[in-house]
Amino acid sequence: MSKRYLIPGLAATLSLVAAPAFAAVDPEVVYILNSFSFLVNGALVMFMAAGFAMLESGLVRSKNTATICLKNITLYALAGIMFYAIGYNLMYMDVTGYIGSIMPWSADDAAAVAEKGANFEAGYSSSSDWFFQMVFVATAASIVSGTVAERIKLWPFLIFTVILTSLIYPIQGSWTWGGGWLTKLGFVDFAGSSIVHSVGGWAALTGAIILGARRGKYGPDGSVHPIPGANMTLATIGTFILWLGWFGFNGGSVLALGSAGDVVAMANVFANTNMAAAGGVVMAVVMTQILYKKVDLSMALNGAIGGLVSITAGPDTPTLGSAILIGAVGGAIVVIAVPMLDKLKIDDVVGAIPAHLLCGIWGTLAVPFTNADASFVTQLTGVIAIGAFVIVTSTIAWLAIKFTIGIRASAEDEDMGLDKAELGLEAYPEFGRGAHSI
């Protein structure tokens, strides 16, 4: 049972029932603490947008830096607007099983602020909940941005972002977090290994295939020509910011802070989230040392993300040791899958497909190892259903954009760099040329 599908007031009631030994917490205090958790954790998740922007800036060439920064801030803005206009109610309002309602969202907190007879049955302020859910959809959109970087045109990408955040993400999200058919089946995805990360990953995969590889990435004989990123320092700070934001992503997904039980749950989630990332990093560092005789920093960074995505479906139930192992498998998936994608000539600039899609699938399937309420068959059903839905809808969206306004920058613009072609701006006008510019 997804904890996102808590009917108003249930959070407070549940925590009281679950912890009968404690004195009852005043409902207004519960209301305040739950809302506080949504707001602070949501703000942490919002900052993940900065993490994605820095990670992607570091892994593209400097001639595409300004464009990737613009894409990241604009997609974050669009995600919020679309989630207000359509997405939230499509995901959470009167979900029939497969889809919610189509209307803009509006706050309803009259009961809590009534001058006479105020009641706090809602459990939290509605805007705090809206804000917390909104920053998740932005994360899904950020995942796509890195994979298709350096060759997609700006406006077609933004149009895809609108479709993803207003329709694709909310509809599949309603199946689980909106209380739809997957929740009724018993599918468990605590903070969104599948619902957020795999969704972004599937959309990135279809986009990368339809868009094609960057010019020069693959030789006609199948050889791989790596295109090193411009700034590994930025990529590293970006990964650290994502790691920080993930405490809000998973911790806030406890959805309540109104009792000692809630606090214990959130603390466990924080600790497990950290350890899964640690497992992913160490696994990637050790594996690249063994496989390539050199440690690969970009893989270590992807390993952190892979570990974080892996634990996201169930950060509440594992022990710290299990969390390390779940994350370590995520790190291994990244190291194995990155060269495999190159063999398939799928050009993923930042490694989002291994880290978000494949680790998202692994994390979702791993939930039954530590959570007796989850079953492998149900988890697999969710992975396949969400995957099939996003593959079909995102493919239609990408192709529709491709055959109307086009998605790919011209070869000339790609060679010159999208910063000059799309923005008429260089990211580093006062510095020397990059090491690989000859």
Partner 1 sequence: MKFIMAIIKPFKLDEVREALVSLGIEGMTVTEVKGYGRQKGQTEIYRGAEYEVNFLPKVKIEIAVNADQVERAVEAISNAANTSKIGDGKIFVVDLEKALRIRTGELNDQAL
Where on the chain is the footprint of partner 1 (CB under 8 A)?
Answer: 224-228, 288, 291-292, 294, 296, 298-299, 335, 338-339, 342, 351, 435, 438
**Opening angle at CA 375, ends 374 and 379, nearest 5:** 90
Question: Closer to partner 1 at the Cβ: 23 or 438?
Answer: 438
CB atoms within 10 A of CB 307: 38
Question: Closer to partner 1 at the Cβ: 58 or 179?
Answer: 58
Question: Least Å distance between CB 103 and partner 1?
Answer: 45
Question: Least Å distance between CB 149 and partner 1?
Answer: 14
Phi then psi dihedrals of residue 408, to 5 deg:
-100, 135
Question: Least Å distance between CB 438 and partner 1?
Answer: 6
Contact yes or no for 324/317 (Cβ under 8 A):
no
Question: Closer to partner 1 at the Cβ: 193 or 302?
Answer: 302
Q: How many CA atoms lie within 13 A of 431 on its CB side?
A: 10
In the chain, the amino acid numbered 113 is V
The full DSSP string for 151-192 is TB-HHHHHHHHHHIIIIIHHHHHHHHTTS-HHHHHT---SS-
Question: Least Å distance between CB 238 and partner 1?
Answer: 16
Q: Where are the alpha helices (DSSP H) in 344-375?
A: 352, 359-370
Phi then psi dihedrals of residue 186, to 5 deg:
100, 15
* 408, β-bridge pairs: 152
**Given its phi and psi angles, is residue 216 left (phi above 0), alpha (psi -120 to 50 degrees) or beta?**
left
Question: Closer to partner 1 at the Cβ: 266 or 299?
Answer: 299
Question: Closer to partner 1 at the Cβ: 262 or 342?
Answer: 342
For residue 221, what are its two tokens? Answer: 């004989």
Question: Closer to partner 1 at the Cβ: 116 or 294?
Answer: 294
Question: Closer to partner 1 at the Cβ: 43 or 295?
Answer: 295
Question: Closer to partner 1 at the Cβ: 179 or 229?
Answer: 229
Question: Least Å distance between CB 234 and partner 1?
Answer: 16
Question: Least Å distance between CB 421 and partner 1?
Answer: 25
Contact yes or no for 378/185 (Cβ under 8 A):
yes
Residue 5 carries which DSSP code? -
Question: Closer to partner 1 at the Cβ: 316 or 347?
Answer: 347
Q: Chain-centre distance of CA 302, in angstroms? A: 14
The full DSSP string for 294-341 is S--HHHHHHHHHHHHHHHTT-SSSS-HHHHHHHHHHHHHHHHHHHHHH
Question: Least Å distance between CB 225 and partner 1?
Answer: 6
**Given its phi and psi angles, is residue 124 left (phi above 0), alpha (psi -120 to 50 degrees) or beta?**
beta
Contact yes or no for 59/146 (Cβ under 8 A):
yes
For residue 125, what are its two tokens? Answer: 């302020």
Q: Helices 260-292 and 232-251 sit at what angle, rounded to 10 degrees?
A: 150
Question: Least Å distance between CB 4 and partner 1?
Answer: 35
Question: Least Å distance between CB 419 and partner 1?
Answer: 22
Question: Closer to partner 1 at the Cβ: 296 or 422?
Answer: 296
Question: Least Å distance between CB 224 and partner 1?
Answer: 4
